[in-house]
Structure 1
Amino acid sequence: MTDLVVRLRDHVQGFLRDLRDQGLRVPVARQRTFLRAIEATGPRDAAHLYWIGAATLTTCRDDLEVYSPTFERWFGQAGALPAREEDSPAEDDVPAPGGDGAPFAAASVGGQAGLAASHSERESRPVFGPASQDDRAVLALLRRELRGAVPMVRSRRRRPGRRGPWIDVARVCRESWRNHGEIVTVRRRNRPRRQRRVLLLIDVSGSMKEHSAAYLRFAHAAVGCLDRVEVFTFGTRLTRVTEPLRAREVDLAVGSLSEIVLDAEGGTRIGPSLQEFLANARYVTMARGALVIVLSDGLERGDCGPMRAAVRRLSLLGHRLLWWTPLACDPAYRPVTRGMSAVLGSVDTLAGVRDLRTAYEQVQNLARE
């Protein structure tokens, strides 16, 4: 154990307390990530420790302005950015505090090529701008088209009907009492058709930042016009957002999610998030026999084994599993990343959706099928 780690053990609580006293918001989850990063990497020197803390305890340049002098008081001058090694705690390019580099980024975000997943587990409150007039026009089309696009299924409950293979004995007896024991009409029961349940799983991680708002507006349209819809978001954790999306106004509904979805624009942990869904017996019921739509680029961080197993089980539970990704909007796209190649065999349809208009096109394809 290095001298630095011994000093950290003695001073970390006071250091974190001082950060809070200076006005830096450091939630318990972020503190836990900081301590785990120290344990996993074993800081080589003060500079290495400085950047571990910067990557796990701060989210913007304003945070660095509080973090840097506080760190210096407790651990001394951090010095220059350490050389990148294989066991570094993050792969992010972070400019030195006070320098002329690009703004601080706590997460490495996959770009248009879709070759990298985000690594940050910070908490943040996303801000979704208002829907444009074009978005509202497409949302109106979606509400009209979605009703006919969702597959139908026979209800398990028998209902009174004009035709049906079952005689409604209770109704026949009630009517016969009014007619002095005579059976005038034979009443029947059947199993009417109804819409299948729809399950939407929306990726809100950093690599999906440009598309999350459109996906959530699509979910709002689905919740508003379909009978049975459940919506979950995932980045580094799973969040059920069905109830907030029931608000009539789309901007109000999507805007309220900033208080609920705290892992937006952060890291990507698709496999663990889906496994958390499948570990809840109530949530599993929502997926059974449902039309499952995953809106994600499929850029998994770390081991893809949990993601493969979770997607496989979702495919077996649901009626169909659709995977909509913005990367597939490029005609040259091929699902060759580790995550997508691992789950491709469990996906019924892989399609490109990057905004509401492309989502409307996929809904039309679903209706034709």
Structure 2
Amino acid sequence: MATAAPALAENLMGFGRLLRRAGLPVGPTELLAGAEALRHIEIGDRHQFRAALRATMVHRHEHAPIFDQAFLLWWRDPAAGGPQGADATAPDSAPPPPGARRLGEALTGGAPPPPEGESRRTDTALSFSAAEQLRSMDFEAMGAEEIANAKAEIRKLSLPLDARPTRRFRPHPSGARTDLRATLKASLRQGGEILELRRLQRVTRPPPLVVLCDISGSMGRYAQVLLHFLHAVTNDRDRVSCFLFGTRLTNITRQLRHRDPEAAFQMVSHIVPDWSGGTRIGEALDLFNKQWSRRVLGQGAVVLLITDGLERGGASELERLGAATRRLRDSCRRLIWLNPLLRYAGFRPKSQGIRVMLPLVHEHRPVHNIDSLRALVETLSARPARHPGTERR
């Protein structure tokens, strides 16, 4: 037993590194708690062993499938570096969880480099195919390297909104409106003779953009990627306001204006306490309407509501959700609901929250890959219909 304890500790540390590379927040605290839990169980019982590690290393429901897959791989396969003589029970043929691909990359450490002396050949057609595949791939199914490439592509997107006329005018040589005051003032320099008519042109300006992004457990993976899009938009244009909501509403506009994305996201993480927790969409929208709508929804603002619409409250919460969504729609020029659930071809609004919100928004669009974000950019750069209704594209 004296020689088995160091081997167990070493394998436990390796298992923690595997989970961390796969995206689970496993640090020294979880490793120490796991080692302490193993002291109070029967090590030879595989079920107790797995339950002890899962109870100390898994904090979120969506991380449980990845942990189970990692446990089967690490504590079973001797070639993976696990303990010798482990149970070699074959896993079932069920489809892998969404994070299985990241887990495989974390286990193998990426593809091996080519042998020395072997020439590398680049196929242009395959390069284009890989780029197209990346643009159409679901964020949830991406591996670690593909997520990094997707974030780089997203940061290149700009969001031009159609310019709207304002009440202001400015001097312009070919303006449509005559500036009598400037014309008379200029005539005084010519002894009262009017030699040229001064003209004015109406000033146009893009409307404000307001983003409300759901960061609950079901939206956590998408919210992490979309934050890069919000950071790029916030630094590319003025009059952008960004809010995150789960169980509470947080304004992150000031933090996202930092030029360095890593520094901006670190500041966001310090002020957002409810990441990947529960969701209260109606309460968050109601709070936004009461505290922020008059400040940020002026001059024909466009609102992007990013959520899956899975409101789990009772009848009172659904009524509150409907009233808050209706007031938000009436307070802006264009309310666009971005829903990752639209990635499914057979999507049907079965959830009560989705049924309440769907008739109250101007547009309902998917947001699950780079192509959907590009389509959103093209839509926002075009002028909407005079009386927009519910639209799904």
SS, match of residue 309 in structure 1: helix
Determine whether 1:225 maps to 2:236.
Answer: yes
Native 8 Å contact 1:204 1:265 kept in 2? yes
SS, match of residue 155 in structure 1: strand
Q: Distance in 1 between matches of 2:355 and 2:63?
A: 17
Q: Distance in 2 between matches of 1:337 and 1:134?
A: 30
Task: Give the TM-score of the pair, scaled to structure 2.
Answer: 0.59
Structure 1 match to 2:349 = 335
Native 8 Å contact 1:215 1:295 kept in 2? no
Structure 1 residue 97, shift from structure 2 partner: 12
Larger CA deviation: 97-106 vs 353-362: 97-106
Q: After superposition, where does 1:34-49 map in structure 2 within 5 Å?
A: none
Q: Which of 52, 57, 62 is matched with 1:100 structurally?
A: 52
Native 8 Å contact 2:318 2:353 kept in 1? yes
Native 8 Å contact 2:213 2:305 kept in 1? yes
Determine whether 1:307 maps to 2:321.
Answer: yes
> Which sections of structure 2, spanning at least 5 residues, go unmatched?
1-27, 34-46, 66-143, 384-393
Q: Flag the structure with larger Rg.
A: 2
Structure 1 match to 2:361 = 347
SS, match of residue 185 in structure 1: coil
SS, match of residue 305 in structure 1: helix
Q: Distance in 2 between matches of 1:96 and 1:352?
A: 42
Measured at CA, do residues 199 and 158 of structure 1 come closer, stay the same or move farther in structure 2, by a change above 3 Å?
Answer: same
Q: Distance in 2 between matches of 1:286 and 1:359?
A: 23
Q: Distance in 1 between matches of 2:227 and 2:32?
A: 32
Q: Distance in 1 between matches of 2:213 and 2:48?
A: 34
Structure 1 residue 106, shift from structure 2 partner: 6.1
Measured at CA, do residues 245 and 63 of structure 1 come closer, stay the same or move farther in structure 2, by a change above 3 Å?
Answer: same
Per-residue CA distance 1:294-316 (angstroms, 9 max, x = gap): 11111113121111111111111
Q: Distance in 2 between matches of 1:108 and 1:305?
A: 28
Structure 1 match to 2:286 = 275
Structure 1 residue 244, shift from structure 2 partner: 1.4
Q: Distance in 1 between matches of 2:64 and 2:359?
A: 25
Q: Which of 219, 233, 239 is matched with 1:208 structurally?
A: 219
Task: Give the TM-score of the pair, scaled to structure 1.
Answer: 0.62
Determine whether 1:358 maps to 2:372.
Answer: yes
Determine whether 1:136 maps to 2:152.
Answer: yes
Q: Which of 296, 311, 329 is matched with 1:286 structurally?
A: 296
Q: Between Structure 1 and Structure 2, how many residues are aligned?
A: 262
Measured at CA, do residues 62 and 265 of structure 1 come closer, stay the same or move farther in structure 2, by a change above 3 Å?
Answer: same
Q: What's the RMSD between the two structures over aligned residues?
A: 3.4
Structure 1 match to 2:78 = none
Structure 1 residue 215, shift from structure 2 partner: 1.5
Structure 1 residue 285, shift from structure 2 partner: 3.9
Native 8 Å contact 2:336 2:362 kept in 1? yes
Structure 1 residue 61, shift from structure 2 partner: 8.2
The one-letter code matched in structure 2 to 1:184 is L
Q: Which of 186, 192, 203 is matched with 2:203 structurally?
A: 192
Q: Distance in 2 between matches of 1:98 and 1:311?
A: 44
Q: Taking every aligned residue pair, what percent have the same amino acid on both sides? A: 32
Native 8 Å contact 2:293 2:331 kept in 1? no
Structure 1 residue 260, shift from structure 2 partner: 1.6
Per-residue CA distance 1:106-147 (angstroms, 9 max, x = gap): 6656999xxxxxxxxxxxxxxxx997234213321x12xx22
Per-residue CA distance 1:61-86 (angstroms, 9 max, x = gap): 85996xxxxxxxxxxxxxxxxxxxxx
> Which sections of structure 1, spanning at least 5 residues, go unmatched?
1-59, 66-94, 113-128
Native 8 Å contact 1:138 1:360 kept in 2? no
Q: Distance in 1 between matches of 2:294 and 2:29?
A: 42
Determine whether 1:247 maps to 2:245.
Answer: no
Measured at CA, do residues 331 and 61 of structure 1 come closer, stay the same or move farther in structure 2, by a change above 3 Å?
Answer: farther
Native 8 Å contact 2:209 2:241 kept in 1? yes
Per-residue CA distance 1:187-215 (angstroms, 9 max, x = gap): 12232222111111111112111111111
Q: Relative contact order, CA 8 A, sep 6+: which one is greater?
A: 1
